[in-house]
Amino acid sequence: MRGWIPPDDRLWRHPSESSAAGPASSSRAPAPDRAASKERSAPWVVGGAAACVIVGLVAAGLIMATTNGADGNGAGSVPRLASLTDVPTTEAGVGRLAPAASVASMVDGIRPSLVALRVDSSTGTSVATGLVVESGGMIVTSSDAVPRSRSVTVVEPDGTTGPATKVGFDPASGLSVLKIGDDLPAANFDFAGPSPGSVAMALALEPDHRFGAAPTPRLYAGTVVSAGVALGLDRVSTTFAAIGVEVPVTASDVGCPLLDAGGQVVGMLERSGGKGLASASTFLPAELVWGVAEQLVSNSSVGTGWIGATSTNAVLPGASPTPVGALVDSVTPGSPAAMGGVQSGDVVTGVDGYRVRSSAEFKTRVYADPPGTDVTVTLDRAGTTETRYLVVGHADPDAPQASSSP
């Protein structure tokens, strides 16, 4: 239907095809086999305003990431009304020490899957970062990095340059996929995502002006101030849940990955800075990035599925306004949600074993699931945790819920 290939013949798998699916699994994100690649070695540097902090910590032999259970947007732990397995960067109130050698290992692990982009357009030349999302030379980046570009030149980690062709883009998520002639290893993604109060790192590449020179890595570290909720800073971060991080990235770093303590990709930079979150930058969550890119690779567009349920943020009575799930407002008769047993008044707290903290995160979790995808929904019904199994259907453009529901 969409250039479907049997799972055993692919180097990637959709999360729904994982044999380890379920709330108890913490490794449901795709882990593509890494294709053989050329040896690449080049020094990495720490860039941005975080340089002094990271250099000082590395000099001391460690980087400390602590979680304070932040108040504000997002939730530092799964609410009591949910029984889901969550894998935050660090547990609430517990510090994690990352030796300097581990940081270097993280950089070495992700760098072969990063490329620098030199974009030529009618307004001049700009730079950005791209991430290898699938073997075969498939690169995902922000559409803002390549708007109406005349040409895009990719600079690989070893300095090899070559042209990139556009495969497709998704206007809703603001993501684009490019293709290059070389076969670089795909990055590993973690769909659980970070928790507010944890420390995450972003790695960008800046192309060197010298021909054949390796791009310069820029490593940043910052505190996650929001996760699992819509930020409302632009159209994309209003539609989907996003990750807000206090990290001094710039517009030239758009498309760079956000890494957790294990070096896996948990997000991609959508925009630097933020109006409502001081200097926080906005990262799109890994599940959205991977899912959209996979569909663009397969079909050059995103075929959004439909389950037929509208929702709003669920807030515990008498508690803080921080949402704890997606409150189902209505269910369309005969829809996948209705056939799966979802009812109005249910609070969705998880999808496919990953927590859902808001209506926006509910939509984000299922947005890139094409029709026919099996989805496991965990919900709270009058204080009882229940599981429902749905099959994503085709969106009905004539139904009002088709444009507003997951």
pLDDT per residue as tens digits for the range 332-370: 999 999 999 999 999 999 999 999 999 999 999 999 999
Joined tokens for residue 56? 């000082």
Mean pLDDT (the chain, rounded): 76
Q: Are residues 138 and 268 in the same domain?
A: no
Average pLDDT over residues 159-182: 94
Q: Are residues 103 and 217 in the same domain?
A: yes
278 or 393: whose pLDDT is higher? 393
pLDDT at 100: 63
Write down the pTM of the prediction. Answer: 0.76
The amino acid that residue 101 corresponds to is A
Average pLDDT over residues 298-322: 88
Q: Are residues 218 and 257 in the same domain?
A: yes
Structure confidence at residue 76 as a pLDDT band (50, 70, 90)? very low
* Rounded-to-integer distance, Cα 86 and Cα 267, Å: 16
Is residue 376, in this structure, part of any structural domain at all? yes
Is residue 22, in this structure, part of any structural domain at all? no
Q: Which of 67-76, 141-150, 211-220 has the lowest mean pLDDT?
A: 67-76
pLDDT at 3: 41
Q: Are residues 75 and 133 in the same domain?
A: no
Structure confidence at residue 224 as a pLDDT band (50, 70, 90)? very high
pLDDT at 99: 58
Is residue 103, in this structure, part of any structural domain at all? yes
Q: Are residues 263 and 326 in the same domain?
A: no
Close Cβ partners of 406 (under 8 Å, ≥ 6 residues apart): 306, 307, 309, 311, 362, 363, 365, 366, 367
Residue 140, domain CATH: 2.40.10.10
Is residue 16, in this structure, part of any structural domain at all? no
277 or 140: whose pLDDT is higher? 140
Which one of 276, 299, 322 terminates a domain? Answer: 299
Inter-residue contact 257 to 268 (CB < 8 Å): yes
154 or 210: whose pLDDT is higher? 154
pLDDT, tens only, 39-72: 333 333 344 333 333 433 333 333 333 333 333 3
Does 126 score more than 60 pLDDT?
yes
Q: How many CA atoms within 13 Å lie on the side-chain side of 394?
A: 4
Q: Are residues 104 and 234 in the same domain?
A: yes
pLDDT, tens only, 77-99: 333 332 232 322 332 222 343 55
Is residue 8, in this structure, part of any structural domain at all? no
H-only helix segments in 190-275: 235-239
Q: Are residues 64 and 99 in the same domain?
A: yes
Does 129 score more than 70 pLDDT?
yes
Is residue 19, in this structure, part of any structural domain at all? no
pLDDT at 107: 85
Q: DSSP class of residue 311?
A: E
* Rounded-to-integer distance, Cα 234 and Cα 374, Å: 31
pLDDT at 404: 41
Which one of 274, 299, 324 terminates a domain? Answer: 299
pLDDT at 391: 96
pLDDT at 123: 79
Residue 335, domain CATH: 2.30.42.10
The label of the residue with tokens 């009591």 reads: 80
Domain count, the chain: 3
| CA nearest neighbour of 110 among 242, 240, 268, 244 | 268
The proportion of the chain whose per-residue pLDDT surpasses 70, expressed as a percent, equals 71
Is residue 336, in this structure, part of any structural domain at all? yes
Q: Are residues 69 and 210 in the same domain?
A: yes
pLDDT at 110: 93
Give residue 136's domain range: 116-179
Q: Are residues 125 and 268 in the same domain?
A: no
Which one of 246, 273, 299 terminates a domain? Answer: 299
Q: Are residues 107 and 223 in the same domain?
A: yes
Is residue 20, in this structure, part of any structural domain at all? no
Q: Are residues 245 and 263 in the same domain?
A: yes
Q: Are residues 160 and 282 in the same domain?
A: no
